[in-house]
Every structure is written in structure tokens, then in C-alpha cells.
Amino acid sequence: MSDNKLRKESRIKYFIFRILLVLIPLIVTISAGTIMVNVISNKYNNWKSHAFYESDDLHLNIFRPNSTYTWRKDCYRITPMHINSHGFRDAEWDINAPYKIAILGDSFMEAFQVLDGDYTAAIMRTLLNKHSKSKIEILNTGVSGNGTVAELFRYRKYLKSIKPNIVLLFFLIGNDFRDNSCELSIAVNKNKMQLPCAYVEKDAVIYETNVEIINTKYFHLIPNSAKSDLGANINGKYNRLKHIYKTLRGYIKYNFPILSAMVMDLLDAVASISKSIVAKKDDGISIDNYIYDPPVKQQWLDAWKITEDALLKLNQEISDNGGRLIVIINAEYPYSEIRYPEKKLTEIAIKDNITIFSLTNDFISYKKQNDLKVPYFASRCDGHWNPLGHFIAANVVSKYLIDNNLVPIGNDDKQGLSSLILKNLNRSPQDILGTGFNQIYRNGFFEGQTNIEKILSESTKQN
């Protein structure tokens, strides 16, 4: 063999050796990193949250009946969360109770952010049964992502046959009326529709539970990355990477706080810049802040029309079924002045003879009275109510029901319960949350424990 040929073979072998020298450590590093991320993600973040849900024949999400879950985000961990045999985050229902109050709502009522006894429905169940001589059952059907249209179908399928005496619809200004519109839901979420929705055609509101029809009708609003199976798969991988990033961010933040402080500030600055860039490119449909302004574009006008139509239908069907609908406007961040959609929704309800009241003023009053700081009634990493928000909401709603003679409680018992509720609403956040106060408001990690169960238990003994 000639020297030139030997030298050529040597160069090829050396080149292959150099490639392997780079590739093998890279493969080992990626494999080790994947294992580490999966271990950390299982421990520090539940990014497989959507696996919780099953879809029924109307494309309404429910949980797997009789299941138990753990939910974790960057600043809290909630476990266990129990699902009843009907597929909802609630205690088992007594459907034969003499008086029943059903709750329709979204993720605020689903309440992944608090322990089993600390969400609105559970607290109301305890409060209202303190002085009632006959059992008052609370039926919580809150599920993440639901707007009024989905709640209309949910009432028909899961509550109508139970014949609740009162139906409380917790309305979230931040997205509920937008979620009612097929067009806005797809435009904002940038993905295929997964829940029942409605659209306006020739001035008529059309309801649709076949999501394939909706996704075909508004196919042009779905980004190319989410239209095909391949695109959806790539989009899913991208979302997983985002969750892995959040997982690692949370892991570093809470295990190496001093080391990560500057990095967190930099990441937050980048996120803020990214949001402002997206806002500048907005087409006038896809930014949530448009919810808080008087509607100009037809899509938003249609969303209001759909919402009013769904409320009218729900009110009529509940009334025909022997019940009464009460719309409750959720207090939401920043718990400040009443904005356009709250006024508009109130006008619609009054015009259509639908009972409505808002939690906003009570939340603002409590915030001022206790000089409550950020994140107010939420969490640092999550805009949903923390246990304090649920405690205040449950007491305010219970007081409303008592004051308006909407629950079967005698006058003497009513006085005692009203006094108890006023006492609860005058408790400090520290008293209500216990060790959870520092965990939520002073940059700790919230493990779920509060004094709410103790408070409710003590008041039961006193009465």
C-alpha cells in the first residue's frame, strides 16, 4: 500500500475519531440531561396536567372519576386533590339532599391552587350547614377553560336531572365571554377548538359541539404550526420544551436562590420585552386586554351577543327546571376599579332579569382593610385565587345567599351564621393562612396548609 493511501486512511480514521470524540459526550450529556429533566419535572412541576381530563360526547372536559392528583407549579404544590364519582373536583355529592346549590365555573372553581377543604365550594358547604336544620348540598362542576356556552351544556348534561334549587355561575371577566366565541377562542389560543362554543351567522347565535366543524370553519385562524398532525406534534414538542424550561427554572430558583437571582431578573426582563413585541404586532383580536375595552371589532361584538344569548338560555332552562340562576362576577387581579366588561355584563343581566352580583368591591375592601400586598389574593406564579381568595369568596357568597333568603335557614340560625361570617371576613390574612402566609407573600414555597379547616372547625364547636 502506498504512503499516500496510508496517509489518506489515517486522516479519515482521525476525522471519524474526532467526530466520535464530540458526538459520544454529546449523546451522553443529552441522555443524562433528559433523565435529569424528567426526574426534576416529576418532582417539581406537573407539565402533564392535561392528562387529567377526559372528554365526553359533547367535548366537555371532566376528570377521571374517583381519581387523586398532585398539582405543582413554581411556587406551590397541592396534594392530594380528590375527584368524585361524577368526574369533578369535589366531595361525593348527596343528590338526594333536600336543598342543592350547584356551582358552574372555570379553573377558579376547579381550584388546583388549594387543598381539598380550602376551595370555595367546600368552604360554603361547611358554612351553610352549620345552622341549617336540613342538609344543604353543594355541587361543584368547575372545570378549567369553561365559558358560559360550555357551562350551558354542562348544566344540561350533569346538573339538570339533579334539579338544583340554586345555580351559581361564577363568571370570570378575564376570559369567559371570549371563550364563548369559537372565532375568538381559536384566534387567542392559536390552536384547534376543544370545547363547545358558538358563532354568529346572519344575526343568529349558532351553538356547536362538533369541534371538527368549528376547526374547519375557522381553519384560517389556526397557525400553520398547529394545523397538521406533524405541526401539532412539533407544537407539542415545543410546549414540552417550554415546560422543561419552567421546570429547570423553578428547580434552580428554589434550590439555589442566591445564585439564580440575577438570572431570574434577566429572564423576566426578556419575557417582558417579548410580550411588548407581541403586543405591537397584534391584529386587534388576539390580545386579552381587548376584553377590558368597549368592543369595536365585530368579533368582540359577536362575543357579547353570544354571551347574552347563552345566559338567557341558561336562565330560562334553570327556571323551567324549578331552580334559580345567580351570576357571580369573580374578583380578579388587580382587584381594582370596575372596568367596562363588568358594567356591561351587569347591564345585560338587569335588562334580561337575571340575578347578578360582583365580588369585586368586597375583595377591594378586604385588600385595603388589611393592606394586602402583591400577589393580593393570588400566588406569585399563578393568577388564580390562593386559599385567602377562596375563603373571602365563600364567606361573601354565603352571606349574600343568607341576606337574600336564598337558603333554608331559620331567622335565629341566620343571625348566628351571619355573625360568624362577619367575624370570618374581619380575620387577618395571617390568621386565615397561618404558616401559608409567609409561604405565599414572602417568597416562600406554598405547601397548601392553612388555618381554614381549624377556623371552620372551631366555629362549629362554638355553635
| Spatial separation of the C-alpha atoms in residues 457 and 460, rounded to whole Å | 5
Angle at 108 between CA 457 and CA 374, to 5 degrees: 85
Is there a contact between 103 and 141 (Cβ–Cβ < 8 Å)?
A: yes
Mean of pLDDT values over 103-118: 96
Which pLDDT value is given to residue 266?
57
Q: Which helix (H) or strand (E) holds 198?
A: strand 197-201
Segments of 320-365 assigned E as strands: 324-329, 355-358
* 3-state secondary structure at position 57: coil
Is there a contact between 169 and 148 (Cβ–Cβ < 8 Å)?
A: yes
Nearest to 381 by CA among 255, 236, 264: 264
Residue 338 has pLDDT above 70, yes or no: no
Using a pLDDT cut of 70, give the percent of the chain over it: 70
Using a pLDDT cut of 90, give the percent of the chain over it: 50
User: Average per-residue pLDDT in the chain?
Assistant: 81
Other CB atoms within 10 Å distance of the CB of residue 337: 8
- List, for residues 417-448, the tens digit of each pLDDT value: 999 999 999 999 999 999 999 999 987 789 99
What would the CATH number be for the domain defined by 49-222+286-462?
3.40.50.1110
Maximum distance among all alpha carbons in the chain?
110
Which is more confident, 34 or 98? 98
Which pLDDT value is given to residue 292?
74
Which pLDDT value is given to residue 115?
96
Is there a contact between 167 and 325 (Cβ–Cβ < 8 Å)?
A: yes
- List, for residues 189-204, the tens digit of each pLDDT value: 666 667 899 999 999 9
* Half-sphere exposure in the Cβ direction for 440 (13 Å, CA): 29
209-246 per-residue burial string, b: 16 or more CB within 10 A, e: under 16: bebeebbebbeebbeeebbeeeeeeebeeeeeeebbeb
Mean of pLDDT values over 215-227: 61
Name residue, grid cell 441522555.
31
Q: What share of the chain is helix, strand, coil (3-state, %, to 5)?
A: 55, 15, 30
Nearest to 398 by CA among 120, 27, 155, 167: 120
- List, for residues 27-63, the tens digit of each pLDDT value: 665 555 555 545 444 444 443 444 478 888 888 888 8
Other CB atoms within 10 Å distance of the CB of residue 191: 18
93-124 per-residue burial string, b: 16 or more CB within 10 A, e: under 16: beeebebbbbbbbbbbbbbbbbbbbbbbbbbb
Which pLDDT value is given to residue 213?
81
Is there a contact between 424 and 452 (Cβ–Cβ < 8 Å)?
A: no
* 3-state secondary structure at position 63: strand
Residue 135 has pLDDT above 50, yes or no: yes
* Half-sphere exposure in the Cβ direction for 43 (13 Å, CA): 11
| Spatial separation of the C-alpha atoms in residues 194 and 210, rounded to whole Å | 9
Domain(s) of CATH 3.40.50.1110: residues in the chain: 49-222+286-462
C-alpha cell at 301: 361584538
Max mean pLDDT among 133-147, 243-257, 281-295 falls in: 133-147
Which pLDDT value is given to residue 265?
57
Max mean pLDDT among 93-102, 177-186, 233-242, 405-414 falls in: 93-102
pLDDT band at 337 (very low <50, low <70, confident <90, very high): low
C-alpha cell at 387: 386559599
pLDDT band at 105 (very low <50, low <70, confident <90, very high): very high
Residue 231 has pLDDT above 50, yes or no: no
Which is more confident, 91 or 211? 91
Residue 160 has pLDDT above 60, yes or no: yes
Mean of pLDDT values over 307-311: 97
First to last CA, the chain: 103
C-alpha cell at 87: 368526574
Mean of pLDDT values over 453-457: 93
